[in-house]
Every structure is written in C-alpha cells, then in structure tokens.
Amino acid sequence: MIQLSEVTLRRQGRILIEKATLQIHPGWKIGLTGNNGTGKSTLFAALLGQLSVDSGQLHRPAVWTVAHMAQEVEALDMNALDYVLSGDEEWWHISAQLEQAHLDHDFLTPDAMAHLYGRLEDIDGYTATARAAQLLAGLGFQEAQHLKAVGEFSGGWRMRLNLARTLMCRSQLLLLDEPTNHLDLDAILWLEDWLKAYRGTLILVSHDHDFLDGVCDHILHIEQQTLTLYTGNYSTFEQTRAERLAQQQQAFEKQQQVRAHLQKYIDRFKAQATRAKQAQSRMKQLARLQTLSAAHVDMPFEFSFREPGKMSSPLLRLDNATIGYQPEKPLLNQVNITLTPDTRIGLLGMNGAGKSTLIKALVGQLSLLSGERLASEHLMLGYFAQHQLDSLDSEASPMLALGRLAGKLVPDLQLRAFLGGFGFSGERLDTPCEGFSGGERARLALALIVWGRPNVLILDEPTNHLDLDMRHALTMALQDFEGAVVLVSHERQLISAVCDELLVVHDGECKVFDGDLSDYADWLRLARQEIEQRERLQRQAQKAQAQQQSQQPQQNAKPAPSNPAIEVVAAAPIVAAEKPLFVDKEQARKQAAILREQTRPLRQQIEKLEAANQKAQQRLAAIEAELADSSLYDAARKSDLLKVMSEQQQLRNDCNQRDEQLLELMMQLDEMQAV
C-alpha cells in the first residue's frame, strides 16, 4: 500500500502539494489529473524516489518493482525487440548470464546454473520473446520492424517503443505519463484493454476523457495545492466534484450571511454600555467561525473560431482520386470526398492505412496519382498537422508570431486579448517559444490557425499535448465553427462531439462507416483478427511450399509446382461451400482421393514432427533420471552437468518449436479439408 501522511512538495520554492494525506491500495487504477504545473510530475518523481518530500511521510513498499515510462528514448543501436525485452530486467540479466555460461563453462557453478534455469521457469521467461512481440504488434509495429534499430525510428515511434518496454516490466506499480500522446485510436483501444488486465497498481496521467473512463477506478485530483481522491472513473469524478463545489459555494454564501449579521450587530452595539457584553460575545463567536473559501475552479481556456470570410459550396472535392507516392503502388484508390460548409467528417483507420496520406492530398501537399482535386476560389484552409509544432519559429514569441500574420494595422491590445483565450498572458506573451512546453506550443499553433479565419479545418491529431481544459475549449469551439471539418484524432469524445459522419480508411479504400465509435472498436478487433489470420495462413503456405520443395530429389533441378490448394487458402478467407442437394458418390471418391494427394505432404510433415517429439520426450525422461543422480553435482563432474542441462534446455526448445509447427500444420490441414 502507498501511504501519504501530511506530505508537502515544493519545486523551486513554490508549494505544489500541501499536507496531503491518503492511501492507495494494491490493484487500484488511478487517474492523476490537474492543470499543467499543479504538481503531477513532481508527485511522480516523489513516488519514484527521485525527489524527497519537503515535510510529512511518503511510504511505498520497498519490495515493489516500479515501471515508469520515460519521456525520451536515445537513438540506440539495439533492435526494437531486444529493447522491449530489456524492460524485464531480471529476464534480461538471466539470459545474459546463461548465454555467457554456454560460451564459458567456468562462468557459473552447476548450482548457479540450476538456480537460473529454475528462476527462468518461475518468471515465465520462455514466453518472454512472444510477449514482447505481442506488445509491439498491439502498439502498431509490423513484424518486419522488430529487428530494426531503435535509432532508425522517429521520435513518436520511439515513444511507442518506450511504452512497450515499460509494459514489459513485471511491475507492482506502473506510472504512465501521457501514454496516449503518440498513439492512434486503434493502439489506444489495445492499450486500454491491456491496462484493464494489469494486476498491479496503476497511476496514470492522461488528458483523454474516454481513456480515463475506460481504465481508472479512482481519480486523484490536484487543485489549489490540495490532493483529493475520488472513487469512480473520470465521468463520476466530474459529477462528484461539481456537486462538492456547489455544496462548498452554498456553505460559503451561508457563512458570509452569518458573518455579515454578526458584524452588523457588533458595529451597532459595541459602543453601547448596555449591549457591550452581548457585542463582545458576538465578536468571540465571529472569531470562532471556521473560514470557508468560495468554490473555485481554475479559469478554463475559452476561445472561438473567427467567422470565415466568403463561402461557397462545395469548398473542396476529390473525384476518383488515386493517392500514394508510387504510381505502381497506390495507397488509396477511387477516393471521392466532397467538403461543404456543413461537413463534419471523422477520419478513422488502422495505423498505416493511409489517413495522413489522404489528408496531405486534401490540403494539396501531395499530388494525386490520378483523379481530380477541385478547390473553390474562396477556399481558406486551416491545417493542423501531426508535426505542426516543429514548424513554429522557436525564436518568435506568441506576440511576434501572431503579429506577422495580423500585420501592423492590428493593435497590440487586440492581439494580447486574442492570445489570452489560449492561455498566454503576462511575460509568456513576449517569451520565445523555444522553451515552451508541448502544450504551450500546441496552443500557439492553434491560435495561429484560428486567426487565419479558415472555412475548412483539417486537423490531424490536434489534441496531442493539450490538457483537459484546452481540449474542452477546442471541442466547444469546433462545435460552433461555421465551416467544414475533417478530423483525425485518437480522442473519442472529440470525434463524437464534433463529427456527424465517419469515414474509414482500410484496404486501399475510403468508405463511409455505418456505425458509431463503439461499433468501430468492434470492427477494429475483427479487422485485426482477419489480418492476423491472413498473415498466419500466408506464412503457413510459404512454409509448406518451402518444405515440399525441399523434399524433392536433389537431382531434379526443376522445382516442383506449388500446391494450388495451399495458394487458395493463403489468398482468400475460407468460405464453406454450400452443401449440394444430391451427392455423386463416384465424384465424392475422386475428390477424396485428390484431397488425400494434396494433403499428403502436410500429413507426412505432421507425422515426422510427432515422431521427433516422441523421441525427444524419451530423451528428456532419461535426462531427468540422470539429474536425479546426486553424484552428477560433484565438482569433478561440473562439465558433465553443464552438458546434460544444456542438452535438456535444447530439447525443450526444440519441442516447443515443433509444437508450434504442429499447430500451424494441423490448422492448415483442417482448413484445406474444410475447403
């Protein structure tokens, strides 16, 4: 259990959290919320032991393993799969020791070797590589990327690698700071399911309302230097907090009335000798009143899109567009999109399906391979790209950046008032944005887009780095916007509130999605399963074909033709044939003979693997008998013991590999027979 008792935390002399007392029980999933700068990162640092509390006590079980997602990843030469595996430090250490022991037989004693193998079994170490691969797949990495060096990935993909490495750790406490910032919607849905199944204690900082709702059972809110723990998800927290604030305001107003009444009595009668005693009593009563503060909510952001200039319909259109970077390999075909002033489109699709490529074609950054892009003469585009923050002039302040757009005729007072709606005031107005946080840079980028009075907004992940208040302000502003909107976002609440039409990009097409976002989550899971099945069948077909060719006589230079039945299985989903009304027995016998001939290579491989496994199991039984002999552990027989244990491990690995091959071959055989 994590326990805080009268904890006060300061940063640079400023109190962020004062006299906090609470308990966090094992297994709780907590969403840590609060405006930027209120102390969320400071609390994380204290929980990690990187920062001492200024007063009070913070207790965390010393035996707990803590996993924390760092915000930066170095450009390492290590491949992606190994980088994720290194997140399980004990497994990584044991694997390194065993590898060294196989190279140097004097590196470990027999007892040490036996202990390491036993510990590897205890921590489920033999499945570590498979689990790491599943994490990478869930976060959007293709299998071909597993052996790619970490340094070859972009910053956003390195953050995904860092998240996978953090999840790989077998932790009792998991601290995640904005894990969804660099994820798309399908990766977020996968992460949500993963965190629901996580058995440890989770403390999560996120500005995604739906993500907090789906994962958390408690909310820890920081406001006015106070930590308040709420039971329930984020929606419950919002309702409970609103009720508490209303009660607080009511109590404050009632107390103010009592104070005013007492003070009025005191002022009236304190100078009269006959009433002086009663006045003194009222003064003591007034002094004893506990001071209540008015309900306070930190000032939210508030802005609106400026009214667009001239409008026409349609504003932008793609007709029969073929989109991609190579004419021979287009990403999207026959795309037809029409944007009118009342269009509100949410663009959905799996990672790599082509959403960002479609957006680049819409805004004119990418030329069409074929088809037409027709733009109205009145078109004013407001485009927020995923990497919009990188395009800001780091040496320019918000006032300078906006002044360049507005021109010299617009007074500074008007510019300052406009930027105030985006949270810029005081010295921040004239501070170069080089040192700004991601949230401040995102707000500035939005402010510059809003000033341009666009009539078409194309937004690609605009909420990255924005806190909950700014996301809410953006949602409200988009609802009132008087132009067309095309939105790509991982935030489901934003899509639901703004968009009235959903398009899904999938398998080279862009089509209307008939359903809502919960339906899309179900569709996404089915689409993943279909892709995994297709890839599995393709691998099986390739393996079967390679094995069949390897069995041909060496003197036959001409390779055997591939099995057409296998190719059909790999190329298309299996669909059961309709049962005929009449059965031709002779034809059925011929078909059965053809099927036996087609499946014979598979059945032979299955029999061969089963025989090899049976032989290996017999040898493993013999090895277990040898290991039961205590004389094998004598110092003089160290090399014999290492040899036997190495053979045992190799046999187990071989059996596991053959079991996987058997499963694939049997599934393939079943599919062929079903066809």
130-161 per-position pLDDT tens digit? 899 889 988 988 888 888 888 888 777 888 99
Whether the per-residue pLDDT at 561 is higher than 60: the answer is no
101-123 per-position pLDDT tens digit? 877 777 777 788 888 888 888 88
Most confident of 8-17, 85-94, 143-152, 516-525: 85-94
Whether the per-residue pLDDT at 216 is higher than 90: the answer is yes
Question: In the sheet where 173-177 sits, what is the strand order?
Answer: 66-68, 173-177, 201-205, 29-33, 218-223, 226-231
CB proximity list for 465: less than 8 A, separation 6 or greater: 181, 389, 437, 438, 439, 441, 442
What pLDDT sits at residue 572? Answer: 34
Name the pLDDT band for 511 (thresholds 50, 70, 90). Answer: very high
221-259 burial, b at 16+ Cβ within 10 Å, e below that, comes to bbeebebbbbeebbebbbebbeeeeeeeeeeeeeeeeee
**Helix ranges (DSSP H) in 377-462:** 398-406, 412-420, 438-451
What pLDDT sits at residue 443? Answer: 85
Q: Which residue has 């393709």 as its token pair?
A: 538
Full-model pTM = 0.62
- Residues 59/173, Cβ–Cβ less than 8 Å: no
Three-class DSSP labels, 269-289: HCCCCCCHHHHHHHHHHHHHC
Strands (E), 445-556: 456-460, 484-488, 501-506, 509-512
What pLDDT sits at residue 50? Answer: 86
What pLDDT sits at residue 66? Answer: 92
Q: Tell the burial category of 278 from Cβ atoms under 10 Å away from its Cβ (0-12, 13-18, 19+).
A: middle
Most confident of 48-52, 69-73, 343-347, 615-619: 343-347
What pLDDT sits at residue 617? Answer: 82
148-202 per-position pLDDT tens digit? 888 888 777 888 999 999 999 999 999 998 888 778 888 888 999 999 999 999 9
What pLDDT sits at residue 635? Answer: 67
What mean pLDDT is predicted for residues 477-492?
A: 88
What mean pLDDT is predicted for residues 448-471?
A: 86
Q: Which residue has 């399906």 as its token pair?
A: 353
637-673 per-position pLDDT tens digit? 777 777 877 787 788 778 877 877 877 777 777 667 6
What mean pLDDT is predicted for residues 481-500?
A: 88
What pLDDT sits at residue 278? Answer: 66
54-106 per-position pLDDT tens digit? 899 999 888 899 999 876 667 678 899 999 999 999 999 988 888 888 777 77
Share of the chain above pLDDT 70, in %: 83
265-314 per-position pLDDT tens digit? 677 766 666 566 666 766 776 676 655 444 444 445 677 788 887 888 89
